[in-house]
Amino acid sequence: MDSINKQQPEDTQKPLQGKEAADKIRELAEKAKTCFFCTDLRSGSSFKTRPMSVQKIDDQGSLWFLSASDSRKDQDINTDPSVQLFFQGSAHSDFLTIYGMATVSRDKAKIDELWEPLMKTWFTEGKDDPRISVIQVTPSES
């Protein structure tokens, strides 16, 4: 029981695997839409955190993001691919923490798949902007 109210048990820590785990990640991450994306976890200093919008959660539970190839985040991932994501779906419930491994690519087909017009705010040349990168986070624990 994790509740501060002893009369109200909480069923918040179920061991999930496979499709059941991927479905739960999708449910909670889609509800939140945005996470705090943390890098530089193993450096021994405080890790780096920034808000990021999830573009897609695939059937295996991997989370996909668009990023800027010249960003500190991409540099951090290339040095240490361990990441942590924090989600909050509402003010009082639906919390999710994911530890995983991130990879950065310049996969044009994936950029086309994930692109949304709002992204032009950051990438003024549109989906053909040479700075766009794709980050895939494969969860190892959540």
Note whether residue 1 is domain-resident: no
Scanning the structure block, which residue is given the tokens 């996969």? 107
Note whether residue 73 is domain-resident: yes
pLDDT of residue 15: 67
Task: Give the model confidence (pLDDT) of 67-105 as tens digits.
Answer: 999 999 999 999 999 999 998 877 777 788 899 999 999
Task: Give the model confidence (pLDDT) of 99-117 as tens digits.
Answer: 999 999 999 999 999 999 9
Note whether residue 84 is domain-resident: yes
Nearest CA among 60, 48, 50 for reference residue 20? 60
Task: Give the model confidence (pLDDT) of 38-60 as tens digits.
Answer: 998 877 677 899 999 999 999 88
Domain hosting residue 87, numbered range: 18-141
Query: In total, how many domains does the chain have?
Result: 1
- Tell me the whole-structure pTM to 2 decimals: 0.85
pLDDT of residue 88: 87
Average of pLDDT values for 16-31?
80
Residue 60 in tokens: 């295996």
Residues in contact with 31: Cβ distance below 8 Å, sequence separation at least 6, in sequence order: 89, 90, 94
Note whether residue 135 is domain-resident: yes
Note whether residue 13 is domain-resident: no
Note whether residue 10 is domain-resident: no
CATH (domain of 52): 2.30.110.10
Note whether residue 108 is domain-resident: yes
Tell me the backbone φ, ψ of residue 27, rounded to 5 degrees. -55, -50
Compute the distance between CA of residue 21 and CA of residue 19 in angstroms, rounded to an integer: 5
| Residue 136 burial (CB count, 10 A) | 18
Note whether residue 2 is domain-resident: no
Average of pLDDT values for 3-23?
68
pLDDT of residue 1: 45
